[in-house]
Structure 1
Amino acid sequence: MSVARLLTEDSNLEPKRARIEAPLVLGFSADDKIRTIQLYDDALVITLRIEGYDVKRVLVDQGSTVEIMYPDLYKGLNLKLEDLTTYDSPLVSFEGKTVNPRGQIRLPIQTSSDVVEVDFIMVNAYSPYTAIVARPWLHALEVVSSTLHQKVKYPSNGQVIEIVGNQSMARQCMVAAILHRPNAESLASVERNL
C-alpha cells in the first residue's frame, strides 16, 4: 500500500475526541418535592432489603452513629440470641433513657445492586420503627438524604439512585410513639407517687 493511500485513508477518519465524564451531582431541587405532602415535618422512613427481606419502617437518622435493630425485626429475621456478639456500650434512647443493648450482629443491606454490610445493635426497647440506619450505612454508600424532599440519593455505577421515603408510614410511626409515651409517663408518675 502506498504512503499516499495511507494518508488519504487516515484523513477520512474523524479525529478522536476525549471523553469527558461529568461528575455525578447529588442534590435536591424543587422537582424532588413533587408527590410529597407539604407542609410537613415528617421523619424520613424508608423500606430497605435487610438479610434478604424487604423491611418497612426503617428510620434514616443522620445524627446517629450506630445502626439499631428492634425486637420485631430481630424476630422477623428468625435470628437467635446466640447469633449476637457482645456489645457493651450503653445507648441513649429518643426519650433520653439509657438502654443496654442485647448485642450486635452484622447483616447485609441491599439497595438496587449495591450491598453494604453493617453492624446492627439489637436493643430490647419499644420503637415504632423496625430499625434505624445511621452514618455508617450512609457513609458507606455515600448517601445524601433529605427529610424535606423525603428521599435518599447515592451514586452507583455512574448514575444516581433514589430511595423515596414513605410519609404515611412516618406519620403512623409518630402516632404510635405518641400513643406509647403516655403509658410510660403515667407508669412513671404512679411509681413516683408510691
Structure 2
Amino acid sequence: MSIVRPHVDDLTLDFKRGKMEVWPSLSFLDEDKVGTFQPHDDALVVTLRIGGYDVRRVLVDQGSRVEIMYPDLYKGLKLKPKDLANYDSPQLEFDRKTVVLKGQIRLPVQAGFEVVEVDFIVVDAYSPYTAIVARLWLHAVGAVYLTLHLKVKYPFGYQVKELVGIQSMAR
C-alpha cells in the first residue's frame, strides 16, 4: 500500500476550539486494481470534459511539462486559427521529433466536479490520443495518480474523488 497526501495531515486536531477535522487520505490499495488486467504496462488514459465536451483518449502524463491538444480534438471542438493565441516558441521537440505549433488556447477541463482552466498547446502531429494533461493540470487539481492502478485521485472538499483509466483505450 502506498499513501500520498499533498500538504495536509490525515488528521487535524484543534483542541483549543474543541473540534477535530479528519482529512481524507489519497491512497491506492490493492482493491483499486480490481477491473484492470494485471500485470500491464498500459498508459493512463481517461475521459475528461474539455471545453464543454466529453473527450475520450486523454493521456495523463506527469512526465510532460505542457498540456497538448492534437488535431482531432482541435477539429472536434470546431476551433479556428483566430481562437489561438501565439505560443512563445514556434517549435517543440515532442516524441523525438520537432513539431510546429499552431498556437495556444485556454479551455476549462472538468474531472467530476473539479474544473480547472488549462492552457493547451495545439500541435499538428499524429497521436493515438486527443490530448495530454500534464503536471500543471495534476498540480492544479491536487491530484496524484498511479499507472499500476490506472487511477487518478484528487481531494474534493472532505472527499476523495477518482478518475478511472480506460485500459482498452490505452491498448
TM-score (norm 1): 0.77
Matched residue, 1:101: 101
Q: Is the Cα contact below 8 Å between 1:88 and 1:101 reproduced in 2? A: no
| Cα separation, 2, equivalents of 1:132 and 1:92 | 15
| Per-residue deviation, 1:112 | 1.6
Shift of 1:168: 0.2
Residue by residue over 1:130-157, the C-alpha shift from the partner in whole angstroms, topping out at 9 and shown as x without a partner, is 0000011000001101100000000001
* Shift of residue 111, structure 1, vs aligned partner: 1.5
Amino acid at match of 1:93: F
Counterpart CA distance in 1 for 2:164 and 2:100 is: 32
Structure 2 unaligned regions, length at least 5: 1-16
For residues 113-135 of structure 1, the C-alpha deviation after alignment (integer angstroms, 9 at most, x for no partner) is 21100100000000010000001
Partner of 1:178: none
* Alignment partner, residue 170 of structure 2: 170
Match of 2:92 in 1: 91
**Structure in which a larger fraction of residues adopt strand:** 2
Deviation at 1:23, TM superposition (A): 2.1
Which residue does 1:140 correspond to in 2? 140
Is the 8 Å Cα contact of residues 138 and 144 (structure 1) preserved in structure 2?
yes
TM-score (norm 2): 0.87
Q: Secondary structure in 2 aligned to 1:138?
A: helix
Q: Given the alignment of the two structures, is residue 33 of structure 1 paired with residue 20 of structure 2, yes or no? A: no
User: SS at the partner of 2:137?
Assistant: helix
1:71-116 CA distances to partner (integer Å, 9 max, x unpaired)? 100010011011000013222222x011121100000001122110
Higher helix share: 1
**Residue type of the partner of 1:153?**
K
Counterpart amino acid of residue 62 in structure 1: Q
Contact kept in structure 2, 1:69 and 1:123, CA below 8 Å: yes
Alignment of 1:37-48 (within 5 A): 37-48=37-48
Q: Looking at CA atoms only, which structure, 1 or 2, has the larger radius of gyration?
A: 1
Identity in percent: 66
Q: CA RMSD in A?
A: 1.1
CA deviations on 1:9-61 (whole Å, 9 max, x unpaired) are xxxxxxxx933112221120111111111011000000000011000000000
For structure 1, the residue ranges without an aligned partner over 5 or more in a row are: 1-16, 172-194
Q: Distance in 2 between matches of 1:140 and 1:80?
A: 27
CA distance in 1 between partners of 2:112 and 2:151 (Å):
15
Query: Is the contact between residue 88 and residue 100 of structure 1 (CA under 8 Å) also seen in structure 2?
Result: no
Do 1:51 and 1:77's aligned partners in 2 also have CA atoms closer than 8 Å? yes
The corresponding residue for 1:73 is 73
